[in-house]
Structure 1
Amino acid sequence: MKKSAYQLLLLAGASFGLAACAPVHYHYCDLNCWHKPKPVPVKPVAPPPPAKIIAPVEHFVLQSKPVTIRGVNFTTNSSKLMTADIAVLDSAARFALKHPTAILLVKGYCSKTGSYKYNLGLSQERAASVAHYLMGRGVPNYRIITRGYSWEDPVASNATREGRFLNQRVVIDTSIKVRKSVP
């Protein structure tokens, strides 16, 4: 094969094309030139191992379960916790610490004595008093929401002293996630 060398001078701003030729060699073959390959022995494949028997799988979902804690009452015109309330609040704090995803809605209420506006402020103070106690027992403040509802949603008649006492309360609502088996 003959080797050749060429020089090419290109001018700036112009388009160029380049073509090169080389000799082509053809190979002629009739149908007899193709050989059949020799057969290759194939080793048999081992059968797969038997499938393992697996026990049926139980599926679970998390479901919200509402929880209400009652039993915290106050004297008239007061947001100070009473000694009898401490056991209920300690129980609520243990519950909250056992369920770290639970958010506590602390709702304060009053009896229908005095103006709505005054009782709204007092009910908010009652909810804050309970929230402060729960935080002192280790419940993080970001998990506690306080609301005051004045004399709305009474649980007893305001005509009697006992009824008013039952309405002067704090209720803690929350919901927890529980596992429920699904078929």
Structure 2
Amino acid sequence: MKILRTSLLLAVFALFAITLQSCKTRKVAAKPTPPVQKEVTPVEEKVVPPAPVEKKAEPAPVEEKPDYTFTNVLFEFDSGVLKTSSFEVLDKMAKEMKKDPSAKFVLNGHSSIEGSVSHNMSLSVDRANSVKSYLINAGIPAANLTIKGYGAAQPVASNDAEEGRAKNRRVEFQVSR
């Protein structure tokens, strides 16, 4: 037991010595000070004025008119979450909307026929709100965006087949000025 205690004590001291050695801070060499420059008195020189530069008449910037022909933003079944494929369309919309800050827009949310009337109405409002949130984050003023939910009341395609129902799950854009 005495041998174990002695060897353990020696190991602790060795570890302590190694730790102290590695923790010592190194002295940092002082940075050299830059040499002081003597002021040189300038000799008087003859100043020649620069030759006049001819100004070219720049054409007035052409103001781009916004293109408000947007495609609908489509959604998955029973979802108000934006698809990643919608981001490109929404970025283009935001860019065009920024060209005329005074323009007002109505975001019309729609859904397919599946589900109850109240659920579809709520879902269409959620979809319009998703698009509105994206556009606000892209820099469009919230006061310029109004939302309306229509549920399944205004389909653009037949709800008999899945293709038609997928087209009906959308948000349309309308300029209200």
Report the 3-state secondary structure (helix = DSSP H, G, I; strand = E; otherwise coil) of the residue aligned with 2:140.
Answer: coil
Amino acid at match of 2:167: L
Conservation of the 8 A alpha-carbon contact between 1:72 and 1:169: yes
Equivalent position of 1:104 in the other structure: 105
Structure 1 residues not aligned, in runs of 5+: 1-64, 177-183
Structure 1 residue 131 corresponds to structure 2 residue 132: yes
TM-score by length of 2: 0.60
CA shift in 2, pair 1:66/1:152, >3 Å: farther
Higher strand share: 1
Equivalent position of 1:72 in the other structure: 73
Identity fraction in percent = 38
Q: CA RMSD in A?
A: 1.8
Equivalent position of 2:173 in the other structure: 172
Shift of 1:171: 0.4
Q: Pairwise mapping of residues 133-148 of structure 1 onto structure 2 (< 5 A)?
A: 133-148=134-149
Conservation of the 8 A alpha-carbon contact between 1:74 and 1:81: yes
Report the 3-state secondary structure (helix = DSSP H, G, I; strand = E; otherwise coil) of the residue aligned with 2:159.
Answer: coil
Q: Distance in 2 between matches of 1:167 and 1:69?
A: 16
Amino acid at match of 1:74: F
Q: Distance in 2 between matches of 1:162 and 1:134?
A: 27
Conservation of the 8 A alpha-carbon contact between 1:68 and 1:171: no
Report the 3-state secondary structure (helix = DSSP H, G, I; strand = E; otherwise coil) of the residue aligned with 1:86.
Answer: helix
Deviations along 1:50-88, whole A, 9 cap, x unmatched?
xxxxxxxxxxxxxxx994522310011100000111111
Bigger Rg, which one? 1
Structure 2 residues not aligned, in runs of 5+: 1-65
Deviations along 1:18-52, whole A, 9 cap, x unmatched?
xxxxxxxxxxxxxxxxxxxxxxxxxxxxxxxxxxx
Q: Distance in 2 between matches of 1:66 and 1:88?
A: 13
Deviations along 1:110-133, whole A, 9 cap, x unmatched?
000111111000000000000000
TM-score by length of 1: 0.58
Conservation of the 8 A alpha-carbon contact between 1:116 and 1:150: yes
Conservation of the 8 A alpha-carbon contact between 1:74 and 1:80: yes
Shift of 1:163: 0.6
Higher helix share: 2
Of the two structures, which has the highest relative contact order with CA contacts closer than 8 Å and spacing of 6 or more? Answer: 1
Equivalent position of 1:9 in the other structure: none
Conservation of the 8 A alpha-carbon contact between 1:109 and 1:169: yes
Q: Distance in 2 between matches of 1:108 and 1:83?
A: 18
Report the 3-state secondary structure (helix = DSSP H, G, I; strand = E; otherwise coil) of the residue aligned with 1:147.
Answer: strand
Shift of 1:96: 1.0
Report the 3-state secondary structure (helix = DSSP H, G, I; strand = E; otherwise coil) of the residue aligned with 1:105.
Answer: strand
Q: Distance in 2 between matches of 1:150 and 1:104?
A: 19
User: Where has structure 1 moved over 6 Å in runs of 4 or more?
Assistant: none
Equivalent position of 1:92 in the other structure: 93
Shift of 1:175: 5.0
